[in-house]
Amino acid sequence: MLRKFTTLYRHIIDEERKYPEATGELSDLLADIALACKIISLEVNRAGLIDLMGITGNENVHGEQVKKLDEYAHDTLVRAMEVSGHLCAIASEESENFIPVKEKFMGNRPMSKYIIHFDPLDGSSNIDANISIGTIFSIYKRVSDSGPGTLEDCLQCGTKQVAAGYVIYGSSTIMVYTTGRGVHGFTLDPTVGEFLLFYENIQIPKRSKTYSINEGNYSKWNQELKNYVDDLKSVDSSRRRPYSARYVGSLVADFHRNLLYGGIFMYPGDSKNPNGKLRLLYEANPLAFIIEQAGGRASDGKERILDVVPLDLHQKTPLFIGSEEDVLELERFLSN
């Protein structure tokens, strides 16, 4: 049976039509992001051939080695977003400060009413090993009146997101997005250069049998987290124990697998890094919006991720995200 031939753009327009007041700007912006990610996907797949492997020798604001593809993905997205005309500010994991964008006018109507956060390339330590990596993005409406965007525009609670998504560059290139009406997945058909609808209204299983965490950090965890992970590994078939361990070390790859099959992903704070490693704006918030739309849960162990008030562009947060019942159980263990 022929699968419904729905392109990403057709889906975005159909979604837009459900909002009578929509101006089409968000649809255009999502299409611009998809185009930028198609270009990144091309380079990711050719990286080894055109010397885009390896490191630049620079360090980013997080003190991490910047890979050539990190820089390439960041530059590609910034260029695409600056000309879209729909943004007043861009905040990137790879850029210390946010990038204010000059206002554009269409007729007498000012555009640039959105801001975007992105992790241009997630999982970049895995690039040279040909392991799946990805781009994560999050879109908000500006809060300032006009002109180039401000820091206040960039520091909004995750609940204010109007859209979020990711693109995973793996055995195929898949884009998953939400505008608050369900989570939808599209697979890039490279022969026609279109993202085609593959999963509509993705719902994550309420409980799973899979957990994802870097157990190399076990000695640095608090006792409550050790108790939880030890419990996951105990033998108790009535509670589906032992769970299976699945950890790629590339957040987008671990998240995408858990979204489709069920699972709990954990990047906790520990004795060395109390707030963990992942960034609230560029990783936790967009994925939290997506997981809640898919019927899952995302918290920092105590508070809902989307309620965390951002105080800094590069703020880190512990992240526990995935199947609702598993995250709730984890929270009970942490509160003991």
Residues in contact with ligand AHG by the rule CB under 6 A: 64, 93, 119, 122-125, 214, 249-251, 267, 277
Stretch that binds Mn ion, among 31-39, 90-98, 184-192, 241-249 (CB under 5 A): 90-98
| Nearest residue (CB) to ligand AHG, 66 versus 183 | 66
Q: Judged by CB under 5 A, does residue 25 bind Mn ion? A: no
Strands 264-267 and 244-245 come out as unpaired
The interface partner of residue 214, options being ligand AHG, Mn ion, none and the CB cut-off 5 to 8 Å by kind, is ligand AHG
Q: How far is the CB of 16 from Mn ion (least distance, A)?
A: 29
> Which of 197, 288, 204 shows the shortest CA–CA distance to 12?
197
Question: Rounded CA gap, 71 and 120, in Å?
Answer: 8
| 4-23 binders of Mn ion (CB under 5 A) | none
| Nearest residue (CB) to ligand AHG, 124 versus 156 | 124
Candidate residues 71, 119, 153, 194; the one interacting with Mn ion per rule CB under 5 A? 119
- Alpha carbons within 13 angstroms on the beta-carbon side of residue 38 total 18
The interface partner of residue 153, options being ligand AHG, Mn ion, none and the CB cut-off 5 to 8 Å by kind, is none
The angle at the Cα of 164, spanning 139 to 59, to the nearest 5 degrees, equals 75
Q: How far is the CB of 216 from ligand AHG (least distance, A)?
A: 7
Stretch that binds Mn ion, among 85-93, 174-182, 258-266, 291-299 (CB under 5 A): 85-93
Q: How far is the CB of 222 from ligand AHG (least distance, A)?
A: 17
The interface partner of residue 25, options being Mn ion, ligand AHG, none and the CB cut-off 5 to 8 Å by kind, is none
In whole angstroms, what separates CA 146 from the centre of its chain? 28
The interface partner of residue 250, options being Mn ion, ligand AHG, none and the CB cut-off 5 to 8 Å by kind, is ligand AHG
Q: How far is the CB of 1 from ligand AHG (least distance, A)?
A: 37
Q: Judged by CB under 5 A, does residue 270 bind Mn ion? A: no
| Nearest residue (CB) to ligand AHG, 62 versus 109 | 62
Closest-approach residue to Mn ion (CB)? 122
Q: How far is the CB of 280 from ligand AHG (least distance, A)?
A: 13
| Nearest residue (CB) to ligand AHG, 76 versus 124 | 124
| Tokens read off for 20 | 């009578």
Q: Judged by CB under 5 A, does residue 122 bind Mn ion? A: yes
Q: How far is the CB of 213 from ligand AHG (least distance, A)?
A: 8
The interface partner of residue 64, options being ligand AHG, Mn ion, none and the CB cut-off 5 to 8 Å by kind, is ligand AHG
Q: How far is the CB of 331 from ligand AHG (least distance, A)?
A: 20
| Nearest residue (CB) to Mn ion, 280 versus 334 | 280
83 C-beta neighbours (distance < 10 Å), count: 12
